[in-house]
């Protein structure tokens, strides 16, 4: 007998105030975009700018007809497998780690990584190479907003962590700055020095969860989705600026029941 364990949706705990709608803004494909801009990979940057499903594009590039002739569940599974493999490879995962993670033989993982870096060599030379150089010279890495992190471990032990920190910190700052822009437009009093929230009044912004932001509006005063997306959009200050787009979900019931707009 198979026992299926169904975990509760804890996000349903967070409900909007009376006569309010709860919304979640989520940065779309954020980490992968930062990697593309860090590497100055024009092919990936162009795909993101065109709004393509980059994970499908990567699967087509990596597997060719082996992927394109698939449909339904098999196609979705191969897309997800490719997404996971590319993400792990971009963040410096080894052949062995990739093989264990995806249930492949190690020579299959090696072949995957060699093909990926063959299609996108700048991820290896520009992104990985830059981080390696920074660690060797000063044990310090920077993100595009000018924040830095210093590492004290052996370079081999902290290299993958340093690779991951740049996109992850950049994405978190995009969310954080988007929150400030949202408050500045709709709740400017919250940003004034000495502001203390009135517990009797409904809050606007509720919480940040890495690359997502949860907030609420009175139903009667809910702004259009296009206006919210524009307000949340942050300029990531690369020489070729990056603007990571936002997806929006909403619900009149709870955070856990938000549906994409």
pTM: 0.92
**Per-residue pLDDT, 128:** 98
219 with 136, same domain: the answer is yes
96 with 137, same domain: the answer is no
CB 108 within 8 A of CB 100: no
30 with 51, same domain: the answer is no
135 with 80, same domain: the answer is no
- Distance of alpha carbon 173 from its chain centroid, rounded? 11
Question: In this structure, is residue 2 part of a structural domain?
Answer: no
90 with 114, same domain: the answer is yes
138 with 255, same domain: the answer is yes
**Per-residue pLDDT, 214:** 97
**Per-residue pLDDT, 257:** 96
Q: Any idea what the CATH number is for the domain that residue 220 is in?
A: 3.30.70
77 with 196, same domain: the answer is no
**Per-residue pLDDT, 131:** 98
Give the count of domains, the chain.
2
- pLDDT tens digits, the chain, 261 residues: what are they? 667 777 788 999 999 999 999 999 999 889 999 999 999 999 999 999 999 999 999 999 999 999 999 999 999 999 999 999 999 999 999 999 999 999 999 999 999 999 999 999 999 999 999 999 999 999 999 999 999 999 999 999 999 999 999 999 999 999 999 999 999 999 998 888 888 888 888 889 999 999 999 999 999 999 999 999 999 999 999 999 999 999 999 999 999 999 999
**Per-residue pLDDT, 73:** 96
Residue span of the structural domain in which 127 resides: 7-41+121-261
187 with 231, same domain: the answer is yes
**Per-residue pLDDT, 1:** 63
- Last residue in a domain, options 119, 154, 170: 119
The 3 state secondary structure assigned to the chain is: CCCCCCCCCHHHHCCCCCCEEEEEEEECCHHHHHHHHHHCCHHHHHHHHCCCCHHHHHHHHHHCHHHHCCCHHHHHHHHHHHHHHHHHHHCCCCHHHHHHHHCCCHHHHHHHHHHHHHHCHHHHHHHHHHHHHHHHHHCEEECCCCCEEECCCCHHHHHHHHHHHHHHHHHHHHHHHHHHHHHHHHCHHHHCCCCCCCCCCCCCEEEEECCEEEEEEEHHHCCCHHHHHHHHCCEECCCCCEECCEEEEEECCCHHHCEEC
């Amino acid at each position: 007998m198979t026992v299926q364990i169904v975990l509760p949706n804890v996000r349903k705990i967070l409900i909007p105030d009376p006569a309010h709608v709860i919304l979640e803004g989520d940065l779309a494909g954020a980490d992968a975009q930062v990697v593309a801009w860090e590497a100055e990979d024009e092919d990936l940057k162009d795909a993101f700018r065109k709004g393509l499903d980059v994970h499908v594009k990567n699967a087509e590039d990596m597997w060719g007809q082996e992927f394109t002739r698939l449909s339904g569940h098999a196609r979705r599974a191969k897309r997800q497998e490719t997404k996971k493999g590319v993400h792990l490879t971009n963040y410096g995962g080894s052949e062995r780690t990739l093989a264990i993670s995806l249930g492949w033989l190690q020579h299959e993982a090696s072949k995957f990584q060699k093909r990926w870096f063959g299609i996108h060599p700048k991820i290896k030379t520009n992104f990985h190479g830059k981080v390696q150089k920074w660690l060797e010279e000063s044990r310090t890495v920077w993100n595009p907003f000018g924040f830095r992190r210093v590492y004290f471990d052996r370079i081999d032990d902290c290299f993958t962590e340093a690779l991951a920190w740049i996109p992850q910190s950049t994405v978190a700052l995009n969310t954080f700055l988007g929150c400030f822009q949202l408050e500045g437009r709709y709740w400017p009093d919250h940003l004034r020095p000495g502001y203390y929230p009135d517990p009797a009044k409904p809050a606007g912004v509720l919480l940040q969860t890495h690359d997502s932001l949860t907030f609420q509006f009175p139903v009667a005063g809910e702004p259009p989705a296009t206006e919210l997306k524009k307000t949340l959009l942050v300029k990531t200050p690369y020489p070729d600026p990056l603007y990571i787009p936002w997806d929006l979900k909403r619900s009149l019931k709870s955070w856990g029941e938000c549906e994409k707009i």
